[in-house]
Structure 1
Amino acid sequence: MRGPLLIFLLVLLSAFKPSQQAPYALRISCGARNDVHTAPTNTLWYRDFGYSGGYFTNATRPSYISPPLTTVRYFPLSEGPENCYHIERVPHGHYSVRIFFGLLKDPTFDNEPLFDISVEGTLVYSLQSGWSNHDDEQAFVESMVFLEDGTASICFHSTGHGDPSILSIEILQVGNNAYNFGPGWGRGTILRTHKRLSCGAKQRKFDVDYSGDHWGGDRFWNAIPTFGESSDRVLTTKNSIKLSPKVPNYYPEALYQTALISTDNQPELSYTMDVDPNRNYSIWLHFAEIDPSVTGEGQRVFDILINGDNEFKEIDIVKLSGGVNSALVLNKTIPISGRSLTVTLDPVKGSHTIISAIEIFEIVNAEAKTLIDEVRALQKLKSALGLPLRFGWNGDPCVPQQHPWSGVDCQFDSTKVKWFIDGLGLDNQGLGGHLPEDISKLSHLQHVNLSQNSIKGHIPSSLGKITGLEVLDLSYNFFNGSIPESLGGLTSVRILNLNGNSLSGRVPAALGARLLHRASFNFTDNDGLCGIPGLPTCGPHLSAGAKIGIALGACVGFLLIATCLTCWWKRRQNILRTQQIAARGAPYAKARTHFSRDVQLTRHNNGHENARTAAENGPILLS
């Protein structure tokens, strides 16, 4: 009985197990010190974290659709032109990344910030003048992007007009195949949302307001009640809509319960929107046959033209979706050379056309990133040199290509499909600190100019590992110690300026030999250098072992001398102490000496007297 009962319980539990794990969702209230919940959905916004700089202050919401948050983080140009949010521990997957812009409290037009936004190193949007006066999608930017290294990088690039200010950031996981537009789609592309329209809707809504699936990413749908005066009418239904079983777009049912339908006066429907020229756009069109006058196939058939080209011919919604009140989604990628995009529905059968929603995405080619080891090496260099805040040096040093790091030169490696650093130009920038050994990890460097700063310490020997280095200018700093022997291995070096430092010792012989190959070296204004023409002559050359032996011998000799001096000093102290004691006891010693001498003389005289008496009286007999 136990076995069948256990199996029954497992089956019962599996029936209540969610069919799919909930998507990852992270929302940040920029500038907030504490977590925030917003009405009416009680959405959780985490306190501000992950930023590279900037300040927080009170916010003014520029748009009705902006989240009801009260703070922003803004980034003054004095803090650097590039500032980023780096979010860690983001699961691998496909994400909708949405950034809402904010305004400082009581703004004026003159301080409306205009700046660029990049996601994962790719420029996705540039704010245009007047954006804060539009109560629509211009209040935010949204992109579909793959995040595969466990992090999300979102950066804001100053363009010289106002300080970038951010109201909120959302990172919402969507289906891995969401918005698959066919050839060219995948990890190498980013879809930036240009426009989403819910046709016939009276109010703009998010997916959450539509009770949409969380895997849709909580998309925003702007309401469009008409394409133009007398060109259409609104059609609605309360009937349930059969959604396509094909994932992963997860569109909400309510999206298809409203539609615009053409009128007898104008049987075709047409909508025109502004776009950026010379871009590729992914167009998604949504339909559901909710007109009760249409009950089967063949009753409504129409063509779809995009900028005058017939891209979809003889569309029968009932036939393609499987019935009435069933959703149909069509997609097409279109290159646009002009500044407008027009979608036209032209009837073929039946007198009217119908449409539920429109989505337009700009297809952006994702930028290749910089080699991660070189990025880390630059970050350590930034710290070691105490790079001023005005440099920024946040995000990726080479991308977006419109905003590389100041003082950094980049080259693209088509084999590795990565950027690398081939030059550093940081001369006369007031830098201090020291040059770290990790600079050798910038293995593609060809030009380095750090002259006219206040950099201290030794020249890293690891510089000799950068074999392609052609120009190295460290002049007019405070480098000390000797020139590393490893620099002699820089066979490609053409210019080496080490003048104006405090270097000492012999110039490596290999560097001296390079002078015969038309290399230009400058070692002047280093009082302790020697060994090549133009510098003082060095003494006999000693090997490292000999130098160590001499040093040890000097130490032993010093110890012997110190020991002898110590013994002599102690002996001298003893003699002086004895003399002092003798001087204090001299009268007593003299009297004692005289007394001893008198006793001895008395004994001597008595002996002689006794002998004479005995001789005169003869022997004495004892009885």
Structure 2
Amino acid sequence: MERSLGLMLLLIGTLAIIHIVEAQSPSQQGFISLDCGLPANEPSPYSEATTEIQFSTDATYIKSGKIEGTRNCYNVPVEKGRNHLIRGWFFYGNYDGLDVRPKFDLYLGPNPWATIDLEKRVNGTTKEIFHIPTSNSLQICLVKTGVTTPLISALEIRPLGNNSYITKSGSLSLMFRLYLTQSTRYIRYKNDIYDRQWLAYFQDEWTQVSTTSIVANNNSYDPPKAALATAAIPTNASEPLTLEWSNPEKPDDQYYMYRHFAEIQDLRSTDTREFNMVWNGEVISAEPIIPNKLRVSTSFSVSPRNCPGGECMFQLIRTSRSTLPPLLNAFEIFTVIQFPQSETNETEVAAMRNIESTYGLSRINWQGDPCFPQQLRWDALNCSNTDITTPPRITSLNMSSSGLTGSIAAAIQNLTLLEKLDLSSNNLTGEVPEFLGNMQSLFFINLSGNDLNGTIPQSLQRKGLELL
């Protein structure tokens, strides 16, 4: 191949200089677009000049408004159970004058997502996944792993349509999203209602076909019309249309591929275009593909596929009765990424946020998931650690000598599996609340060294409960 698919990854860092196709503005409802590190004296939100996407400062989404400590997390509201595009941009630009490119880990909640190595990706990089959140908030975390300070340039969240990009398990990590054209135009929002980003791609052994007619794109995937207006066919009509790529660093990766077809040529009554899809020599189409006239059809596998040794080949091969070569307009390739560790129980996370707010606490490591990963667990907590598929529960809370004032926070009662509670040596006032005695898992409570008054509730005098 004249131009390897692997080389397309190197273009990600230079997307900003590629001409973007113009279109009318669809709705940005549900879009979250953060300009990370936007100076306080700059307007927010602002409209990005080319796409007209509304970007805002990230200050209200990250705990201290800046990167510090070991783990720094963006807490982003999302729709539980809905597929979302999540994309981060990472460009160094020697912003700190140190000329030292950082390397760090990227986490999604309690799970590792990727390693960002800007020593290797000198022109910057982007990471994109399709992911279905299990709660109504999402934590995207930058985790320091060495001496360099993590960074992020932009963070974008886009809710996707229903019934699209469904996997048997796991999430989808973008490898390529290409449309086949000899143009160098780069497509994203406003052409793509979900702001997916499409790079132009072509091979020397192909011929481009195109149309000025509008191609209907209304299926579950809504690929942009601009990406469907061109297509590639093999110049030698008897040859297959072939795509090859290598992934030697991750030879066991599993792949989902989405192929977008539309017939954009005027066929004669005697013309026939039909072809089979072949993955590493195996025919994967149940029946031959016949593209619809000026209307998209999207083909995909319901189960992921492997590539022996990380060497992948996808072909479109014309059938014996076809008079025309195969045709492909656009395609997307993803690898499966698993996020096996369940997030901490959602009610208990909300309780901890409430406790933090009630007492005006500002602990730098109270970011991301409270319980996992274990080495980044929040100060003052212990958690259950039974099965990674079961949400962890908070079992111990030690906030002694934390400068707490006011009454004992009612949110503590929502930590329903709490076994140990230490609020000693603070400045708490008021009565000891009845709800503490109703927390059946509690067997140790330390309230000493406070200014509490009133009588001890009868429920706290039960057998098996130690009260100090």
TM-score, normalised by the number of residues in structure 1: 0.57
- Structural RMSD (CA): 4.3
Say whether 1:100 aligns with 2:89. yes
Q: Which residue of 2 aligns with 1:468?
A: 441
**Structure 2 counterparts to residues 62-141 of structure 1, below 5 A:** 74-77=66-69, 81-87=71-77, 95-103=84-92, 105=95, 110-118=100-108, 121=109, 123=111, 125-130=113-118, 133=121, 138-141=125-128
Sort the Cα spacing of 1:446 and 1:235 in 2 relative to 1 into closer, same or farther, 3 A: same
CA contact (8 A) 2:261 2:296 kept: yes
Q: Which residue of 2 aligns with 1:39?
A: 49
CA contact (8 A) 1:113 1:164 kept: yes
Q: Which residue of 2 aligns with 1:382?
A: 356
**Structure 2 counterparts to residues 198-277 of structure 1, below 5 A:** 198-203=179-184, 205-208=186-189, 212-214=191-193, 217-226=194-203, 232-240=205-213, 242-243=215-216, 245=218, 247-262=219-234, 264=236, 267=240, 269-274=242-247, 276=250
The alignment partner of 2:153 has SS state of strand
Equivalent in 367, 383, 393 of residue 410 of structure 1: 383
Letter in 2 for 1:240: S
Q: Deviation at 1:492?
A: 3.7
Q: Which residue of 1 aligns with 2:154?
A: 168
Sort the Cα spacing of 1:24 and 1:84 in 2 relative to 1 into closer, same or farther, 3 A: closer
Q: Which residue of 1 aligns with 2:5?
A: none
Q: Deviation at 1:442?
A: 1.5
CA contact (8 A) 1:374 1:421 kept: yes
Sort the Cα spacing of 1:484 and 1:25 in 2 relative to 1 into closer, same or farther, 3 A: same
CA contact (8 A) 1:283 1:359 kept: yes
CA contact (8 A) 1:82 1:395 kept: yes
Letter in 1 for 2:449: F
Say whether 1:445 aligns with 2:418. yes
Q: Which residue of 2 aligns with 1:455?
A: 426
Equivalent in 138, 141, 146 of residue 153 of structure 1: 138
Q: Give distance in 1, aligned partners of 2:123 and 2:325.
A: 32
Letter in 1 for 2:89: F
The alignment partner of 1:436 has SS state of coil
Say whether 1:303 aligns with 2:277. yes
**Structure 2 counterparts to residues 272-291 of structure 1, below 5 A:** 272-274=245-247, 276=250, 280-290=254-264
Q: Deviation at 1:337?
A: 8.0
CA contact (8 A) 2:144 2:150 kept: no
Q: Deviation at 1:116?
A: 1.4
Sort the Cα spacing of 1:127 and 1:464 in 2 relative to 1 into closer, same or farther, 3 A: same
The alignment partner of 1:378 has SS state of helix
Letter in 2 for 1:432: G
Q: Deviation at 1:440?
A: 3.0
**Structure 2 counterparts to residues 208-607 of structure 1, below 5 A:** 208=189, 212-214=191-193, 217-226=194-203, 232-240=205-213, 242-243=215-216, 245=218, 247-262=219-234, 264=236, 267=240, 269-274=242-247, 276=250, 280-290=254-264, 298-305=272-279, 307-312=280-285, 315-316=288-289, 319=290, 321-323=291-293, 326-332=295-301, 333-336=303-306, 340=310, 342-345=312-315, 347-349=317-319, 353-363=326-336, 369-383=343-357, 389-390=363-364, 392-398=365-371, 404-411=377-384, 418-424=391-397, 431-434=402-405, 436-438=408-410, 439-448=412-421, 454-457=425-428, 460-461=432-433, 462-472=435-445, 478-479=449-450, 484=456, 486=458, 488-493=460-465, 496=466, 498=468
Q: Give distance in 2, aligned partners of 1:195 and 1:479.
A: 60
Letter in 2 for 1:467: Q
TM-score, normalised by the number of residues in structure 2: 0.72
Say whether 1:194 aligns with 2:175. yes
Q: Deviation at 1:102?
A: 4.0
Q: Which residue of 2 aligns with 1:29?
A: 35
Q: Deviation at 1:41?
A: 3.6
Sort the Cα spacing of 1:262 and 1:281 in 2 relative to 1 into closer, same or farther, 3 A: same
CA contact (8 A) 1:283 1:361 kept: yes
Sort the Cα spacing of 1:383 and 1:344 in 2 relative to 1 into closer, same or farther, 3 A: closer
Letter in 2 for 1:421: I
Q: Which residue of 1 aligns with 2:130?
A: 143
Sort the Cα spacing of 1:437 and 1:464 in 2 relative to 1 into closer, same or farther, 3 A: farther
Q: Deviation at 1:49?
A: 4.6
Letter in 1 for 2:216: L
Write out per-residue CA displacement over residues 604-623 of structure 1, whole angstroms, 9 at most, x where no aligned residue: xxxxxxxxxxxxxxxxxxxx
Q: Which residue of 2 aligns with 1:589?
A: none
More helix by share: 1
CA contact (8 A) 1:468 1:492 kept: no
CA contact (8 A) 1:125 1:141 kept: no
Write out per-residue CA displacement over residues 168-197 of structure 1, whole angstroms, 9 at most, x where no aligned residue: 23333432233345xx48xxx644433212
Structure 2 runs not aligned, ≥5 long: 1-25
Structure 1 runs not aligned, ≥5 long: 1-19, 56-73, 499-623
Q: Give distance in 1, aligned partners of 2:122 and 2:269.
A: 41
Q: Deviation at 1:447?
A: 3.5
Write out per-residue CA displacement over residues 486-543 of structure 1, whole angstroms, 9 at most, x where no aligned residue: 57545344xx584xxxxxxxxxxxxxxxxxxxxxxxxxxxxxxxxxxxxxxxxxxxxx
Q: Give distance in 2, aligned partners of 1:422 and 1:96.
A: 34
Sort the Cα spacing of 1:205 and 1:146 in 2 relative to 1 into closer, same or farther, 3 A: farther
Q: Give distance in 2, aligned partners of 1:207 and 1:160.
A: 33
Write out per-residue CA displacement over residues 321-355 of structure 1, whole angstroms, 9 at most, x where no aligned residue: 334x5433211131548773623215253695443
Write out per-residue CA displacement over residues 299-333 of structure 1, whole angstroms, 9 at most, x where no aligned residue: 5523321x4543225533xx3x334x543321113
Identity %: 19
Sort the Cα spacing of 1:373 and 1:147 in 2 relative to 1 into closer, same or farther, 3 A: closer
Q: Give distance in 2, aligned partners of 1:145 and 1:256.
A: 27
Sort the Cα spacing of 1:354 and 1:295 in 2 relative to 1 into closer, same or farther, 3 A: farther
Q: Give distance in 1, aligned partners of 2:384 and 2:311.
A: 36
Q: Deviation at 1:105?
A: 0.9
Sort the Cα spacing of 1:23 and 1:52 in 2 relative to 1 into closer, same or farther, 3 A: closer
Sort the Cα spacing of 1:50 and 1:93 in 2 relative to 1 into closer, same or farther, 3 A: farther
Sort the Cα spacing of 1:426 and 1:261 in 2 relative to 1 into closer, same or farther, 3 A: farther
Q: Which residue of 1 aligns with 2:15?
A: none
CA contact (8 A) 1:466 1:490 kept: no
Aligned length: 424
